[in-house]
Structure 1
Amino acid sequence: MRAITKRELKSYFTSPIGYVCVAMILALYGYYFFQVLMLRSSSYISSVYATMFIWSMMIIPIITMRSFSEEMRNRTDQALLTAPVGVTSIVAGKFLAALAVYTIAMVGTLIPVAVIGLFSAPEWALVFGNFFGSLLYGAAMISIGIFISSLTQSQIVAAIGTFGISILLLVVDQLTSLVSNTVAVKLIGWLSFNTRYQPFTKGIFDLSSIVFFLSVIAVFIFLTARKLESRRWS
């Protein structure tokens, strides 16, 4: 798994995609944080993260679209699948590499917070709550994006599919107004990524939300591994 992670991480930064994704996230966060800096107020940091993680969700499809789609298009997937390593390790390696790219960008977003700290005292519980929540949310979306990538040879289709799901997961809680069934309403609320993310915006490290996101990651890594396993023997 370590070898797969290193190979994938290297491939991100031997091509423009890794730099572009990191630069896009940092540019967006930098712009919004600059607005906060001009106000010299730390009370807006939470709202900045709450807004900006949505933009991050739009960049994650670019990070994950090549994970397996590129392997299938270049017909290198069979060589990968016949390597002396478990399929789950292959998927986990690609997941960790994509997560590393996203994490590098997210760590960079803490730099403007430090600058704001020169003028005011940021509420660090809110800052790290939003930061940690964004990482978990992003990791869950990365696992979904990698799964979508394993379903198609087209990177564009993989990116659009992941983007569509990310939008659906953002607005799914708004569907409760269209549903009258109490059980369905509770189920939608339970599945809503946005609802699960909200405690972190308040600086609350909610255990149920952490378990939820980790479970999503585990489920989609498992599904991707099973998809690849079926291709290995086909």
Structure 2
Amino acid sequence: MDHEVKILVVDDEDRIRRLLKMYLEREHYIVEEAENGEIALQLAKEQDYDLILLDLMMPGMDGIEVLQQLRKEKATPVAILTAKGEEANRVQGFEEGTDDYIVKPFSPREVILRVKALLRRTSSTRYLQTNTQTKNILAFDHITIDHDAHRVSVQNEEVSLTPKEYELLHYLASSPDKVFSREKLLKDVWKYEFFGDLRTVDTHVKRLREKLNSISTEAGDMITTVWGIGYKFENVKQKQ
């Protein structure tokens, strides 16, 4: 790997930060720490992290507020750290653009497995964007999705998507013109059956459309609402 993975650990408990740092560094990741939301947001804006592990409940600026502010500027992958009894907050976290959550108390092994899985599928992890020729490409008139590189292009301009936004787009585009219910999308994209909020899907579709529309309204219009059912990726004309 020609890129050293850099992770920001954000938690107001020193013990948790040290524990996570120790286990992540064993995997040869570069780890930086922030003890509150204000410091975390400043670091996240100034630097490019491959992943942020973000505690949900912190005094002052909490994890949700950090995520809201960060998503206005960056698509950095975020995994929220949350206690078991905070389901409503976790749902809000997904609505605001988190990519995964890790429930406290957690096992270090689970954290490492989740971190590795998130890094593998993230659209903004540079080591996934290799220069080798790829064939795993979905090419349409207005959108090109290079799945091997997790890269989305609209009119030859790369679109910065969060991992979940990318997964949602790729999932829909992999079955053009097929209608998916919100429940189906929540289950397959978020792997999230036991407590899901359908607003999570709507919020991500809205954000995804906005990002595509900022380059091409034709691209944004390819994600179509099917009233009373869900969403589909409308295949205008697939390139040969």
Q: Give the TM-score normalised by the residue count of structure 2.
A: 0.32
Higher RCO by CA contacts (8 Å cutoff, separation 6 or greater): 1
Q: Give the TM-score normalised by the residue count of structure 1.
A: 0.33
More helix by proportion, 1 or 2? Answer: 1
